[in-house]
Structure 1
């Protein structure tokens, strides 16, 4: 059986979506001096890094990158972050991932950050699938799709070749 690759977002569309999400983050944090961009390891972190660059160009807000390491196969395992909890206490945080599938990764990420008091907590994803197992939503999303449970969304954020596709 041949797997068909259907492009959902091409490089230019991804660039536009990321820029729009950056503006939404700015708008919801317009009175803040700093915002923590907590990217879930790999694509979520890469997306957070791109958002950081845009935020630095469009606002006076200081974006701080935080890598969030979650064992996606065993999300109950301890979650690690690249910055200490004292560094995001009473701050505005945006938890970022590339695709919101079942919501498992995002909900465990949210749970981790709720161990300390926060000023504001939002979530951002590039692609939001409408098949959630948990009651978690993306506050900022590039695109929402209703797909079958058998389909899988892949996101490649390689510079110059970024694309999101459905298999």
Structure 2
């Protein structure tokens, strides 16, 4: 049975949202000097790359970018199983004195961001770390908030937020879906 879905952002709205987020990131950091966009695997990486391209087009400056896989930093790693799937972390430079913006698709409990902060500490001491998320669905378990939010949505118990990006999924869309088996 297919879960019922409600579209939050279609492809055009997603593009507009990322453009607005790019402007807010530049404003928050008073420009692009020492700015680094770090996407969280999986979809945060693609979103960070797109934001980086938007900033380059608007500001004429290529912003450094990277990818973070937080799998081994999760506080629930023991529940993942004996062989967790680990993606690439790509931060080929020190983060010392950089202004880092972590980019993720959905902010929910805050645990993914806590893990990302733990991992970033292994790569230096940034001057500042900010958080940009495409969707803030509420439901925090930790005192973490986003500095830049694409869209805030109310999500009921028994629902999830699915983010689809062209690079991985063949389409750009954000939907709220009932969890499998629920109606």
TM-score by length of 1: 0.88
Q: 1:94 matched to which residue of 2?
A: 101
Name the CA shift for 1:31/1:65 in 2 (closer, same or farther; >3 Å). Answer: closer
Structure 1 consecutive aligned stretches of length 4 or more whose deviation exceeds 4 Å: 76-80
Name the CA shift for 1:149/1:110 in 2 (closer, same or farther; >3 Å). Answer: farther
Q: 1:152 matched to which residue of 2?
A: 160
**Is 1:40 aligned to residue 40 of structure 2?**
yes
Deviations 1:83-120 (A, max 9, x none): 14x52211000001101111111121123224532112
Does 140-149 or 18-27 show the bigger shift? 140-149
Q: When the two structures are aligned, how many residues end up with a matched partner?
A: 165
Deviations 1:7-42 (A, max 9, x none): 111111100110000001111223442311100011
Cα distance in 1, alignment partners of residues 60 and 27 from structure 2: 12
What are the ranges of 5 or more consecutive residues in structure 1 without an aligned counterpart? none
Name the CA shift for 1:79/1:120 in 2 (closer, same or farther; >3 Å). Answer: farther
Cα distance in 2, alignment partners of residues 97 and 59 from structure 1: 22
**Is 1:163 aligned to residue 173 of structure 2?**
yes
8 Å Cα contact 2:41/2:87 also seen in 1: no
8 Å Cα contact 1:34/1:61 also seen in 2: no
What are the ranges of 5 or more consecutive residues in structure 2 without an aligned counterpart? 78-85, 178-183
Cα distance in 2, alignment partners of residues 146 and 61 from structure 1: 36
Q: 2:12 matched to which residue of 1?
A: 12
Cα distance in 2, alignment partners of residues 62 and 33 from structure 1: 10
Q: 2:82 matched to which residue of 1?
A: none
Which is greater in Rg? Answer: 2
SS at match of 1:20: helix
Higher strand share: 1
